Amino acid sequence: MDIFILKALVDDLQQQLVGAIASKVFQMSADDLLVRLWRQQDQRLLLSTHAKSARLHLTSLRFENPPSPPRFAAYLRSQLQRARIQRLAVQPYDRIVHITWERRDAAPVTLIHELLGAQSNLLLVDAEGTILELLKRVAPDGGRRRALLPGHPYQVPPQPAHRRSLSDLTLNDLSDLARDGDQALDAQHLQRLVIGLDPVLATELVQRSQGDPGTCWAELQNLRQHYEQGTLPIYLCTLADGTRHVSALPLTHTASRVEPYEDVQEALAAVYDPHMHTAWLKSAQQDTLKQINRQLRRLRKKSQNILKDHDKLQSYLDYQRYGTLLMGQNAPRGASQIDVADYYHPEQPTLTIALDPKQSTKENAQAYFKKYRKAKSGLAKVQSLLEQCATDIRDLENLAQQAERAETWSDMQSIASKQPGPKQETQRKVRVPAQPKTPPARPYRTF
């Protein structure tokens, strides 16, 4: 959305929404918020920070309410409940919109919508310009970009020195640009020079002017005059690739079809409304699948760890045999091992069993019995945990398939309600018997 369409849009919203009361805020996706308003009728204002289609406009479409609101949407609900729109304004020749809200029992606040491509954002600031909350937080990084965090003062995005606002642009700027580009204007360089100029519109201007700086300057000055007077025309243009674009100029050189529109809201709705529900549902699916896959990775890792415990406990089951074999022996105190005949084996080979030198033979036998009982009990618990993990993994894999096939918000809410919570994923610690400090029993010795 370029500076011209944004200006026409904000002028229209100023007429339609001043005095409207906020009733609800919904976050439809990671980038999109929908504010329900009331001024003689129910209205819905979309605020999008999508990197490729940042915009705001009214929509008449009805959507199912999404699941419980994330952080920023929940905060806006608490701050804007019953608040009234006092003013809508766009920063001149830029893509920053201010929506000021009047509140009954609190000072006014301003919702700032920055429509800046990949850096698009939504911020709520107080009367002193302090950020209260924002959609996308940006931590300090040594001064290379603005820090955007609650409690920080709001700062207007800085503009690179080579860029020009249309109000400051001169014919010399375009002439210099042409000289840098081998005597002809280039659409890409023009778009980079003029703040808020859409790439499609830049291409149209260059083709209309045939790269001549003077002709391009005249076209821009004509647009500027309409901008100042609030008389910008609106055209819905279908480009050669089939995409639709709203422009303040009829794109006669770059579009295959051009339709004039009286209402900028209707033009924008014609472009975006057909795809919004699908886009939001796809965003919800991606978020849900991301959560499910994260839980699956955690469960699979948990299952691997439990299997390691299972193998370790399995190796301790021989301790019952060691204890039984020791009961009939009488090793001298201080011995660290003893050789016994393993009568559990058909050939009764000699088996070396490790002993604790500080204990008698009988005490060593009881110690082996105790470790065996712990191992047997632990194996039962481990087996139960493995079965539970396998069940949870199957359930989550089924949920992932359901999320991929979901067609409505209700489907997504149903899937979200079935996802296991943190308590359900908590792994109960299985006690693994301590290994003997003395060397383990040696393998069979045959003679």
pLDDT tens for 188-209 read: 999 999 999 999 999 999 999 9
Q: Which of 117-126, 173-182, 221-230 has the lowest mean pLDDT?
A: 173-182
pLDDT in tens, 388-425: 899 899 989 998 888 888 877 677 767 777 776 554 44
Confidence grade of residue 62 (pLDDT, cut at 50, 70, 90): confident
Confidence grade of residue 440 (pLDDT, cut at 50, 70, 90): low
pLDDT in tens, 100-112: 999 998 999 999 9
Please check the confidence at residue 357 and state whether its pLDDT lies above 60: yes
Distance of CA 337 to the CA centre of its chain: 61
* Cα 307 to Cα 12, 70, 384, distances in angstroms: 65, 37, 12
Residue with tokens 């606040």: 109
Average pLDDT over residues 288-310: 89
Virtual torsion, Cα 61, 62, 68, 72, nearest 10 deg: 30
Q: Following DSSP, what letter does each residue of 245-276 receive, concatenated?
A: EEESS--TTTEEEEEEES-HHHHHHHHHHHHH
| Residue percentage of the chain with pLDDT more than 90 | 48
Contact 80, 29 (CB under 8 A): no
pLDDT in tens, 265-278: 999 988 988 777 77
d(CA 72, CA 30): 10
Q: Which of 279-288, 408-417, 436-445 has the lowest mean pLDDT?
A: 436-445
d(CA 273, CA 115): 19
Please tell me whether the overall predicted TM-score, pTM, comes out greater than 0.95 for this model: no
**Residue 229, both tokens:** 């007077």
Contact 267, 55 (CB under 8 A): no
Domains in the chain, CATH or no CATH each: 3-158 (2.30.310.10), 171-262 (no CATH), 276-425 (1.10.287)
Contact 123, 108 (CB under 8 A): no
Listed in sequence order, the residues at least 6 apart from 85 whose beta carbon sits closer than 8 Å to its beta carbon are 17, 18, 19, 20, 21, 22, 37, 99, 100, 101, 102
Q: Where does residue 38 rank: exposed (0-12), middle (13-18), buried (19+ CB within 10 A)?
A: middle
Mean pLDDT value across the chain: 86
